[in-house]
Structure 1
Amino acid sequence: MDRILHFEQDEHGVVILTMNHGDTRNALTGNRLVDAFLAAFQRIEADPSVRVAIITGAGKVFSSGGSIHEMERQLGPDYDSAALRHEYKHGIQRLPLAMHKLEVPTIAAINGPAIGAGFDLACMCDIRIASERAIFAESFVKLGIIPGDGGAWFLPRLIGMSRAAEMTFTGDAIDTQQALEWGLLSKVVAPEQLIEESCKMARRIAANPPEAVRMSKRLLREGQHSRLDTLLEMSAAFQAIAHKTADHEQAVDAFIQQRAIKKTTH
């Protein structure tokens, strides 16, 4: 596995994206990883056979977040605040925007520590499954900086404002048990079972009609900030589309046939 982001797709339409930059423990800055993610998302969006994407890391770390060497470079005299603002907007901030727009569901298979921007990357996913070896830290304040990649938007929506504030203000790490209790994770598994369990979840999703799944994801996203009447209007429009799909027709026919068979056997 020599690519900085390995792309693997199976026959179920499940894509596994594996971060592979051991020198920086899968840092998201100071390398080509953000660009690689954006290219992978474009490939996924262009391929209607893709139904779910899993994001994980090679080695023992999910992602260390921002590269400390990159931070050291940014302290140099050539970088004023305006240059740094521009670099964030046209650098790592492209990742949360692209993740949020991605139509297919995403699963973070968190194989180890998810720190800073690496933790925020996990929070950008729709579902999180973690190895028992994982830890999580919104650690920016430890370095005298703030979540510059959208963590302050994602984290409170997952675990509530009070717990998000605790993680953000202290920068302290939490373990998988606490993350599970706080609703951050769907499941904690043994390290050797992480990809298998993530793929099982992905295939359960992939077994459903893909357009219904994509529209359902869009509604969940819109529901985070829309008024109820606005969301209901959007839901009515999506439902009108869904009712006229072949997948819905086949599902209704199958249900009716199954019910008829049950009646004749009782």
Structure 2
Amino acid sequence: MSKPCVLLDVKDRIATVTLNDPERRNPITGNDMIEALLETFAKVQADPEVSVMILTGAGSAFCAGGDIKEMNDPDSVFRKEPLAAAQSYVDGVQRLPQAIYNLDIPTIAAVNGAAVGAGCDLTMMCDMRIASEKAKFGEVFLNLGIIPGDAGSWFLLRRLGHQLAADLTFSGRMVEAKEALDIGMVLEVVPHDTLLDRARERAAVIAAKPPRAVRVAKRLMRNAERMDLPDFLNSAAAYQALMHQTEDHHEAISAFIEKRKPNFTGR
């Protein structure tokens, strides 16, 4: 029996999702990685016992992106008639950014090694990034004569701004962990052996918050990216009115007044 491409562990309201094809540096093509990730993200989204997700890679790499050997195969989807090839992107890798974007929980990429091409974009799809000192990032599509077909440009512009996104896209250069920190690609760089522990520490802070409020706050941030101010304010008012009716909100107020730790139940 073959090993699963993706591992899922849920503990203390934290879902840890691991890309698990380490021998090939966790590519997202040439295997069942895309479907496995989509299935896993759906499970995480539907689980009320999950408040935050960590995404990481097994072995020495985070994700090598697309399988270059498959791109060289004359029978692969990459060599199809253009309309068919375009549809394969729509039906395949482009489902990943939509799935991650639509998650109602915060997401943390724990980048354990190289994140290249679609792997780099996968980190950008997450809300936050923590890097091992061994991590490196590369928006390398132009080096191969292709462009980011997985929404990488959309996320890169929003995470880094136009100038930095342009530099990384047009140069196709690799960014080491220290530079990634300097330019704001990652929140912090930590010793390699402590990466998951540090990611879980950050995740635990989120997991300790009222579960419904966490998910609604994530939706509100998503709305802020695409709404103008009047519509956004209406959305915030409606969400806030709902939050005032939750038992966790009432518990938080009581705990504050009584100077004790709150006990949140997700109701």
**Shorter-chain TM-score tier:** over 0.9
Letter in structure 2 aligned against 1:26: N
1:145-184 to structure 2, matched below 5 A, reads 145-184=146-185
Q: CA deviation at 1:149?
A: 0.3
1:49 match: secondary structure:
coil
Q: Which range is displaced more, 218-227 or 199-208?
A: 218-227
Q: CA deviation at 1:24?
A: 2.3
Q: Which residue of 2 aligns with 1:131?
A: 132
Letter in structure 1 aligned against 2:108: I
Q: Does 1:44 align with 2:52?
A: no
Q: Which residue of 1 aligns with 2:249?
A: 248
Q: CA deviation at 1:73?
A: 2.4
Q: Which residue of 2 aligns with 1:55?
A: 55
Given that 1:74 and 1:84 are in contact with CA atoms closer than 8 Å, whether structure 2 keeps it comes out as no
Q: Which residue of 1 aligns with 2:263?
A: none
Q: Which residue of 1 aligns with 2:102?
A: 101
C-alpha distance after superposition, 1:221-265 (max 9, x if no partner): 111121011111100000000011001001111112229xxxxxx
Given that 1:60 and 1:112 are in contact with CA atoms closer than 8 Å, whether structure 2 keeps it comes out as yes
Given that 2:160 and 2:184 are in contact with CA atoms closer than 8 Å, whether structure 1 keeps it comes out as yes
What stretches of structure 2 of length at least 5 have no aligned partner? 261-267
1:87-98 to structure 2, matched below 5 A, reads 87-98=88-99
1:223 match: secondary structure:
helix
Given that 2:108 and 2:128 are in contact with CA atoms closer than 8 Å, whether structure 1 keeps it comes out as yes
Q: Which residue of 1 aligns with 2:64?
A: 64
| TM-score, normalised with respect to structure 1 | 0.93
Percent of aligned positions that are identical: 43
Given that 1:132 and 1:190 are in contact with CA atoms closer than 8 Å, whether structure 2 keeps it comes out as yes
Change (3 A) 1:148 1:74: farther
1:18 match: secondary structure:
strand
Q: Which residue of 2 aligns with 1:32?
A: 32
C-alpha distance after superposition, 1:130-151 (max 9, x if no partner): 0000011100000000000001
**Two-structure CA RMSD over aligned residues (Å):** 1.6
Q: CA deviation at 1:78?
A: 6.4
Q: Which range is displaced more, 203-212 or 40-49?
A: 40-49
Q: Which range is displaced more, 197-206 or 175-184?
A: 175-184
Given that 1:136 and 1:173 are in contact with CA atoms closer than 8 Å, whether structure 2 keeps it comes out as yes
Letter in structure 2 aligned against 1:27: P
Change (3 A) 1:44 1:195: same
Change (3 A) 1:78 1:4: closer
| TM-score, normalised with respect to structure 2 | 0.93
C-alpha distance after superposition, 1:195-230 (max 9, x if no partner): 000001111000000111111111111111210111
Aligned length: 258
- CA distance in structure 2 between the partners assigned to 1:189 and 1:107 by the alignment: 14
Change (3 A) 1:74 1:235: farther
C-alpha distance after superposition, 1:110-155 (max 9, x if no partner): 0001000000000000110000000111000000000000011000
What stretches of structure 1 of length at least 5 have no aligned partner? 260-266
Q: Which range is displaced more, 70-79 or 95-104?
A: 70-79
Q: CA deviation at 1:169?
A: 0.4
Larger radius of gyration: 1
Q: CA deviation at 1:174?
A: 1.0
